[in-house]
Amino acid sequence: MNARKRTVVLISGRGSNMTALIAAATDPAYPAEIVGVISDRANAAGLGIAAARGIPTKVISRSDHVGKEAHDGAIDAALASFGAEIVALAGYMRILGARFVEKWQGRMVNIHPALLPAFKGLDTHARALRAGMRIHGCTVHFVTLDMDDGPIIAQAAVPVMVGDNEDTLAARVLKAEHRLYPLALGLVAEGKARMEGGRTVLAHFADDADNGTSVVMAPDPLREETDLEHLARITP
């Protein structure tokens, strides 16, 4: 088995996606190892969660540095001290500078709570509701210079339910995020997803044919039709 890729997670808050990545990495067969967590906020709840799981943590506050480039440099130095090979942004709320992004391009990933390229930026769930979307979701992508614009690695879709508000929709998407991010990070760590020429190249998947038959519909009329067929089979 190849050595697991040393991965550092950057957070700003509760770190729920970070927690999902740490949980996935407890499996020795998972291709990434979470070796450190960095936060730009000393009060980020995720720091305590990581520490409780034995993951080294480091706070690098913007206010402690004279400018963005100095702050980015401190983060880069911390990544070097952790021996990082992959950087995973998980609710990291600061925009990283061009020099930093270019250095880590192809090795830095982010999760965004929308089906990119729709709804880049903030308030994605409220905007999806205002737009009348029937399907919403989340995206893991490589980080590039433009915000929420890097090549897509993986996506997960959820239905928008009648009566949803921003909180209920956000909760449904978050559950999908916790499944999607470990999958996507694993693909990158294993070399099955890589960035080439501004696009994501996916290696061949033996089970990819299964994806060709999957359909996400909301509302889903197929469920009723399936039930009717079943009823016909069992009715004398």
Cα separations in angstroms, 121 against 54, 95, 215: 32, 11, 27
Residues 168 and 146: their CA atoms lie apart, in Å, by 29
Residue with tokens 């995720």: 46
Catalytic residue, candidates 71, 112, 125, 136: 112
Q: Provide the phi-psi class of 200: left if phi over 0, else alpha when psi is between -120 and 50, else beta.
A: beta
> How many CA atoms does the CB half-sphere of 191 hold within 13 Å?
3
The two beta strands, 57-59 and 32-39, are parallel
Q: Is residue 117 classed as helix, strand or coil in its secondary structure? A: coil
HSE-CB for 230 with a 13 A CA cutoff: 6
In 3-state terms, what secondary structure has residue 195?
A: strand
Catalytic site residue 112? Answer: yes
Distance CA 65, CA 221 (A): 56
| Residue 223 Cα to chain centre, angstroms | 30
Catalytic residues: 112
